[in-house]
Amino acid sequence: MTWVWLISTLLILVGLVGLVAPLLPGTILIFAGVAFAAWAEDFSRISGLTVGFLAFLTALAWILEYVAGLLGAKAAGASRAALVGAAAGTVLGVVSGFWGLLFFPLVGAFAGEFYARGNALGAGRVSLATWVGILVGTIAKIAIGFMMVGIFLGALVF
């Protein structure tokens, strides 16, 4: 059973890195590590209810991460072009590394809003709201990821 815990631990550790590294689905990897350990132990130490709750948290983290930036833009009154620009910037950011993931949605929202309305100040406001939304989503994802690890460790101890 040592190999089970080794694989589970590796998945969780890579998942923790994935909370901040692009292209690594952090919460999904954390969940996979916990679910694998629970399954291998026949759900005796980690219950199916715990695994189900962690599945819910995994989905919540994923939704928050990808929707928060768009919600920030929409709250600032973004045009459809700004939302498309932010989404395109997010996709480009995912394949370009951490800094691209952090700033390309901002640039995309600015470009889309400026294209749609021709107002640099308004485009700046929309792009800033998009960026704040993305940061909030990322912080929520990191918090949920660490909460998942805490719940896992708690299930092992108690």
Task: Map out the domains of the chain as residue ranges.
Answer: 2-157
- Residue 130: predicted pLDDT: 83
| Residue 94 in this model has a pLDDT that exceeds 80 | no
Look at residue 24 and give its three-state secondary structure.
coil
pLDDT bin (cut points 50, 70, 90) of residue 1 is: low
Residue-wise pLDDT tens digits, 24-67: 899 999 999 999 999 998 999 999 999 999 999 999 998 888 78
Give me the chain's average pLDDT, please: 89
The whole-model pTM stands at: 0.82
| Residue 22 in this model has a pLDDT that exceeds 80 | no
Determine how many CB atoms are found less than 10 A away from the CB of residue 73.
Answer: 32
Greatest extent of the chain over all pairs of C-alpha atoms, in Å: 62
Q: What percent of the chain has pLDDT over 90?
A: 51
